[in-house]
A and B are shown apart, each in its own frame.
Chain A
């Protein structure tokens, strides 16, 4: 078995070849761009947040590698319909999983699919690829929050 089998598991390839919530939103409450300086990969994230603070819609336009695209696709599924606070929790636990050395951090059942990305941790240069959509989302949530206040 090659090392790659670990990284390129079926779930990841499925999301890579058929990314969920792919596209754009006109007049989104937040539109943010993320860049991975290592490879120049770009990502645009569109977010619609309701007045009550629910993520009503999220769309991603990614031109990235499989890890980047799959991570964004899974993220969009995990946060769609959630409250902003809950989304922030999910981001936190995902980043925690990617950035802590140990494998002790486990996901709650409903986020189990994100487990597929755990293999990325073995390839330190690729962690940035997996994190790009999540950091971009964090920024999008900040933007949505601050525009709401105005």
Chain B
């Protein structure tokens, strides 16, 4: 048993009491977005009820309170991800926007014809499409790392593929399909040997794994708060100060300037240079509460709980005839994401029938269409776990899967 008091945690999540068609919700779609504890929800209403005002521009009490709370979250984030300086933390809308910021600002300044951008074949569309666009525009080339049979990065071939033409390596810390945890530090060292930099998509990383950008030795780190108990609408771009300082702004307007004349302007310093316009104040403040919630639990405990539940899920799912489970077999090498297919049942049908048992999973391509092609499937079903999931919920998933097989005419066991 892990050190998380799951029953106590569940009491903080009002949505987990939801009943759908007479059955209590079993929420197993955490890789898409996590649920929010009451502390986070309250923080939002408290802001609007008590001190709603704009940041960085008022001298009245409430504006100071809002600015202090908003800027305080920058510090919370910096601490949580092991960043050296608070000014390296930039608020965006989500992971996707953070990656676009780097692709537009750093990418258009640094990537030249013939350069290579190295990425894994399991990247989320948001860490693929912006680089495709950049590569087309700059006549640069995308180079894909290779995966081993069980979905891990083939490091032997990575040593060949990352080379003198490489400008950027960009990889997910944990795959949202295969669950694979990637060897970020080794890839960072390879990139740096060749004077390239590395961006890490932490959307599935930092919510589940104790993460330090200093230990990962990466140059950019991006993630979304909505996948880690926070509200939607807040993402983080962390970057090394020297690199961020050398980059041009991404968007222009208020807040990102230090002085404006009729014909020219000067840019504000970090991090505000990259935060144009009124930010998502309420949700940033609530994001700080979400991070504190995770800190109180302890990320080692979070990980331990997820390994336990993933191990159990892999074992139980393995009992189903005709099931294919994707990614590493060892729960210690992967996160709490289990993608699978049951022979003869399309994932869409599976997702639908499970939903009738109030079991929420995801079915489809998970924004990883190239990976689906590699796996030779149109899509998969995917169950993904978080701090409030229990082993009993895995059993409910199993029962629902058996029901699905029955509805579909016992195709799996035929």
CA distance A40 to B352 in the complex (A): 16
Could you say which residues of chain B place their CB within 8 Å of the CB of A123? 352
Which among A2, A7, A65 is the interface contact of B346 at CB below 8 angstroms?
Answer: A65
Counting from the closest, the 3 A-B pairs by CB-CB distance are A65-B348, A65-B346, A40-B365
Could you say which residues of chain B place their CB within 8 Å of the CB of A66? 346, 348-349, 408
Mask: chain B, 337-354; 1 = CB below 8 Å from A; 0 = not: 000000000111100110
Known contacts A8-B353, A8-B407, A40-B372; 9 additional CB pairs below 8 A are: A2-B407, A3-B21, A4-B356, A39-B363, A40-B378, A41-B348, A65-B346, A66-B349, A126-B348
Q: Is A63 an interface residue (CB 8 A)?
A: yes
Q: Closest CB-CB distance, B361 to chain A, in whole Å?
A: 14
Considering only CB atoms, which chain B residue lies closest to A42 in the complex?
B378
CA distance A27 to B63 in the complex (A): 71
Mask: chain B, 29-49; 1 = CB below 8 Å from A; 0 = not: 000000000000000000000
Could you say which residues of chain A place their CB within 8 Å of the CB of B378? 39-42, 63-64
CA distance A146 to B308 in the complex (A): 60
* A4 near B409: Cβ-Cβ < 8 Å: no
* B352 near A13: Cβ-Cβ < 8 Å: no
* A126 near B352: Cβ-Cβ < 8 Å: yes
Q: Is A129 an interface residue (CB 8 A)?
A: yes
Could you say which residues of chain B place their CB within 8 Å of the CB of A4? 352-353, 356, 404, 407
Q: Closest CB-CB distance, A149 to chain B, in whole Å?
A: 35
Q: A38-B364, A40-B365 are in contact. Are A8 and B372 (CB under 8 A)?
A: no
* B356 near A64: Cβ-Cβ < 8 Å: no
Interface centre among B348, B357, B411 (most CB of A within 10 A): B348
Could you say which residues of chain A place their CB within 8 Å of the CB of B347? 39, 65
| B positions within 8 Å CB-CB of A | 21, 346-349, 352-353, 356-357, 363-365, 369, 372, 378-379, 403-404, 407-409, 411
**Size class of A's contact patch?**
20 to 34
Considering only CB atoms, which chain B residue lies closest to A6 in the complex?
B356
* A129 near B379: Cβ-Cβ < 8 Å: no
CA distance A17 to B21 in the complex (A): 29
Interface centre among B364, B369, B378, B404 (most CB of A within 10 A): B378
Could you say which residues of chain A place their CB within 8 Å of the CB of B404? 4
CA distance A56 to B196 in the complex (A): 60
Q: Is A5 an interface residue (CB 8 A)?
A: yes
CA distance A29 to B356 in the complex (A): 43
Could you say which residues of chain A place their CB within 8 Å of the CB of B407? 2, 4-5, 8
Could you say which residues of chain B place their CB within 8 Å of the CB of A39? 347-348, 363-365, 378-379
CA distance A13 to B348 in the complex (A): 14
Considering only CB atoms, which chain B residue lies closest to A129 in the complex?
B348
Could you say which residues of chain B place their CB within 8 Å of the CB of A42? 378
Q: Closest CB-CB distance, A1 to chain B, in whole Å?
A: 10
* B356 near A65: Cβ-Cβ < 8 Å: no
* B409 near A40: Cβ-Cβ < 8 Å: no
* B408 near A13: Cβ-Cβ < 8 Å: yes
CA distance A17 to B409 in the complex (A): 9
Could you say which residues of chain B place their CB within 8 Å of the CB of A67? 348-349
Which among A8, A38, A63, A64 is the interface contact of B408 at CB below 8 angstroms?
Answer: A8
* B364 near A40: Cβ-Cβ < 8 Å: yes
CA distance A86 to B349 in the complex (A): 32
Could you say which residues of chain B place their CB within 8 Å of the CB of A63? 378
